[in-house]
Amino acid sequence: MSRFFLLLFLVLSVLPATAGDFEADRGSRISWARLKYPVKGSSRYESDWDWHAHPSGDMRMIDYIRRNTTVNLKEDWNVVDVEDLEKMCAFPFIFVHGQRTQNMSAKGRRNLKEYLLRGGFIFVDDCVWQKYDPYQDMLYQSFLVLFREFFPEVQIQRVGMDHPLFNCYFKINFFPHCQGKNNGISLVTLKGRLIGIVTSSDIHCGWVTESWFGARKTREAHRMGVNIYVYSMCF
């Protein structure tokens, strides 16, 4: 799996969209996906449900990308099970969301590692369901452990506002931490290639509705989402 052609179409097509754009004027068709995976929890319900909070946020992000760039995202929400490697590999960018510690099977772990080795990328954004839970970054921490187990040589670097991630498309005015523990945002690189971006700031909840965090933070959360998408595919 290679990002060469995706990089090519994004370089040519991430210019701001105009009112006269049609589907035919956009780049190659691509789709958004969210990862389905098990977590450690006190009940089977948690394990089955934790990964898919608020799909409306994904749909709003897809719409925002479509309205503000010419990236040709399909207007649908795809689910890829970590147990199905071939389906995972159909998506160059997979969104990972949840609150609990990941608890993938041995097969799921092998699949995720192989997906990343084939050129895939994941954006991990820790969810916050229990606002006053002292362990608000469990998913974030568990994925940091997973990356290091997969690839002992992996580099995980927290980046500041002066990093190109914050101005590769939109000029981000502030990091849109929405809730939970603010561990900033980190790039995960393997032998110089970006394989993941991780945060515990629940940026996704900023995509869901303005009523939770206000219009200013919601706008910046959407802009941050665009930058993450563009940066991950082009850099």
Instruction: Calculate the alpha carbon distances from 40 to 79, 104, 142, 154 in Å.
Output: 20, 9, 11, 25
**Listed range (42-56, 74-88, 178-192) with the worst mean pLDDT:** 42-56
Residue 151's pLDDT band, with cuts at 50, 70 and 90, is: very high
- pLDDT per residue as tens digits for the range 196-227: 999 999 999 999 999 999 999 999 999 999 99
pTM: 0.87
Mean pLDDT of 159-182: 96
CATH topology of domain 4-234: Rossmann fold (3.40.50)
Element of type H or E holding 93: strand 93-98
Nearest to 233 by CA among 27, 75, 83, 59: 27
What does the pLDDT read at residue 42? 52
- pLDDT per residue as tens digits for the range 153-167: 999 999 999 999 999
Residue-range domain boundaries for the chain: 4-234
Q: Which of 4-13, 62-71, 185-194 has the highest mean pLDDT?
A: 185-194
Nearest to 15 by CA among 64, 73, 70: 70
Report the C-alpha gap between 59 and 52 in whole angstroms. 13
User: Which tops the pLDDT comparison, 24 or 160?
Assistant: 160
Rounded to the nearest integer, the mean pLDDT of the chain is: 87
Structure tokens at 64: 């925002």
Nearest to 115 by CA among 90, 146, 142, 151: 90
What does the pLDDT read at residue 130? 63
